[in-house]
Structure 1
Amino acid sequence: MTSESETTEKMTAALRKAGIRVTRQRIALLGVLAEATDHPDAVELHERAKAIEPSVSLATVYRTLSVLEEGGVVHRHAFEGGGARFETTHEEHHDHILDVDTGEVIEFQSDKIEQLQDEIARELGYEVVHHRLELYCRKKT
């Protein structure tokens, strides 16, 4: 797992590489992204960044997220039933469970699932190069 400061440095480098100025507003957004433990959408990120730097605009959030996604340092998730949600790429590979009643996103990692996916791909003559697994669930009552 990468530290928040290393994550922020990677995002800053991605912005500079894309020719985007690293302003106070963007620094606030990068800090919010680096410390997020959930999967916030752009509006949530905007609200959190504005609490740090009131001049952050929603347009800046969208533009910055787009550049960070293109730079491979932020993942955009388009979970069913909602808008895009974001997370940094500093985490090791994981999959997601989405609680269909609360909207909560739970990260999990399963060696069994990873091995089964590799086995299935291999049986069909393929090698897994990337995958994304989302389970839409409801808590048992």
Structure 2
Amino acid sequence: MTLPAPHAIAPPLDLIEALARDAVLALPEPHRSAALQVALQVADFAPDDMLEELGIDSPYDLTGLYEGTPLTEKSVSDQPQQPDTVWLFRRAILDEWIDRGDIGLADLVTHVVVHEFAHHFGWSDDDIAAIDPWWE
């Protein structure tokens, strides 16, 4: 997949989603199988109610979010209220990508995906660094 240059037309939602799905498929087992059970949503910005709940003023300040119960807190007797979901926010990701200017878009999307799945899996910083060396 060829990525557009930063000065080209902004990458669309479906490209961000494809990069995110590639990042999930690159996770090592058993995490990959578990991650494939989590819904993946890509939107331009986080909804206002989500930003308000998190106390975030600017939608450009939120690149991703995990909604759900971390696996480390789940019980087989729990009744799911909604599916676990990893959200990615395209415009915030693109803004960070352009501001940084030193990282590829696929690498940034992978970083956001790994960070959000870290919440799902209950990973430590060391666990994250083993999968996403950008954290080191």
Global fold match (TM > 0.5): no
**Going by fraction, where is helix more abundant, 1 or 2?**
2
Q: Report the TM-score when normalising by structure 2.
A: 0.31
Q: Report the TM-score when normalising by structure 1.
A: 0.30
**Going by fraction, where is strand more abundant, 1 or 2?**
1
Indicate the structure (1 or 2) with the bigger Cα radius of gyration.
1
Relative contact order, CA 8 A, sep 6+: which one is greater?
2
